[in-house]
């Protein structure tokens, strides 16, 4: 069994069956473990069982194979700051996630880079052949949110920071503000 380089004790509730072996690497995405999909400090803090359905697990696996692993291969180590969020977790006041966002589907997450700038991460994600949405959130210190569900190649790019609120923008606009 391949173990992720980020192997650790996951931030999950004890004695809960998450329906996957959290220490196991996701097939086709050897640098990512099932534990990364479900772990959440907020969920643990509030006793929320953040357990994907089988369809949500499969969406997370597809996301890992088609988005995360290609980015990892190109850029080096990545850190998921938030991935799957059950509806209960996503709607918790301390999260305030969008009800129609990608986190509750499993097919989207917030990516932080441990080896390059967020702008480089954004550019690499933008070049991937298929994705549904990318959001540059709170650059230069935030994260890159990417969502992708099978068959949904809408490629909607958005910007969210203290001035812009999920504004749809061309990549040139983000380069103007945050590139150099």
**Contact positions vs Zn ion (CB under 5 A):** 110, 145
Give min distance, CB of 145 to Zn ion, in A.
4
In this complex, which beta carbon is closest to Zn ion, that of residue 61 or of residue 110? 110
Give min distance, CB of 149 to Zn ion, in A.
14
Q: Are strands 133-137 and 156-160 parallel, antiparallel or unpaired?
A: parallel
In this complex, which beta carbon is closest to Zn ion, that of residue 61 or of residue 133? 133
Give min distance, CB of 58 to Zn ion, in A.
19
Give min distance, CB of 158 to Zn ion, in A.
11
Give min distance, CB of 146 to Zn ion, in A.
8
Name the packing angle between helices 171-178 and 118-126 (round to 10°).
170
In this complex, which beta carbon is closest to Zn ion, that of residue 51 or of residue 80? 80
Query: Residue 129 CA to chain centroid, in angstroms?
Result: 17
In this complex, which beta carbon is closest to Zn ion, that of residue 33 or of residue 111? 111
Distances (CA, A) of 159 to 50, 55, 155, 163, 171: 27, 29, 13, 9, 9
Distance CA 148, CA 135 (A): 12
| Pair of tokens at residue 154 | 């809408």
Distance CA 134, CA 10 (A): 26
In this complex, which beta carbon is closest to Zn ion, that of residue 24 or of residue 124? 124
Q: Is the dihedral of CA 74, 77, 80, 84 positive or negative?
A: positive
Residue nearest to Zn ion (CB): 145
């Amino acid at each position: 069994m391949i173990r992720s380089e980020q192997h650790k004790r996951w931030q999950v509730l004890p004695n809960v069956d998450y329906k996957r072996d959290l220490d196991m690497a996701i097939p086709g995405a050897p640098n990512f473990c099932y534990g990364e999909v479900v772990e959440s400090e907020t969920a643990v803090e509030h006793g929320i069982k953040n357990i994907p359905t089988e369809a949500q697990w499969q969406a997370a696996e597809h996301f890992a194979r088609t988005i995360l692993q290609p980015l990892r291969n190109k850029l080096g180590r990545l850190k998921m700051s938030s991935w799957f969020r059950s509806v209960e977790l996503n709607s918790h006041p301390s999260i305030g996630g969008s009800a129609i966002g990608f986190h509750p589907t499993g097919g989207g997450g917030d990516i932080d880079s441990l080896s390059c700038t967020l702008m480089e991460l954004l550019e690499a994600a933008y070049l991937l052949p298929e994705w549904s949405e990318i959001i540059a959130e709170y650059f230069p210190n935030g994260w890159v949110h990417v969502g992708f569900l099978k068959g949904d190649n809408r490629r909607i790019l958005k910007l969210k920071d203290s001035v812009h609120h999920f504004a749809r923008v061309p990549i040139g606009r983000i380069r103007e503000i945050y590139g150099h």
